[in-house]
Amino acid sequence: VVRTELLRSLDGTYASLSTQFLKTLLSIWWFVSKNSIQAAQTTIYLAIDKQFDTTTRQYFSDCAKARTTAAAMDDASAARLWHDKFIY
C-alpha cells in the first residue's frame, strides 16, 4: 500500500471531527505502507529486466512472483470487465 497525500486537503469539518483518530491512524499507516519510490520498485524491475519480456498473466509483489488468484485468471470475468468498462 502506497503512502499518498490523499487527506492533505481534508476540509475543516471532517478534520476537526476526527483529528485524533487520523493522527493515530496515520502514525500506524506510516509503518505498514510504502513511499512512492518503494512502491515503484516492482514495476521498474519488471520493465527493465529482459527475463520478463514474454511474461504474461502473472502477479508480482515486492519484486517477486506472487500467488495469482483463480479470479484473476478467469477469462470470462476479464472479458466482462473489459466490456463493461470500455464499451459503455
pLDDT (average), residues 17-33: 77
In terms of domains, do 29 and 55 share one? no
In terms of domains, do 88 and 60 share one? yes
In terms of domains, do 49 and 70 share one? yes
Q: For residue range 26-53, what is the model confidence (pLDDT) as tens digits? A: 788 888 889 889 999 999 999 999 999 9
- What is the spatial distance between Cα 40 and Cα 4, in angstroms, rounded to a whole number? 13
16: left (phi over 0), alpha (psi -120 to 50) or beta: alpha
Q: Percent of the chain beyond pLDDT 70?
A: 83
pTM of the model as a whole = 0.61
Range of the domain at 15: 1-33
pLDDT of 1? 75
In terms of domains, do 58 and 84 share one? yes
pLDDT of 41? 96
Among residues 2, 87, 80, which one has the least CA distance to residue 40?
2
Q: What is the dihedral of CA 23, 28, 32, 38, to 10 degrees?
A: 40
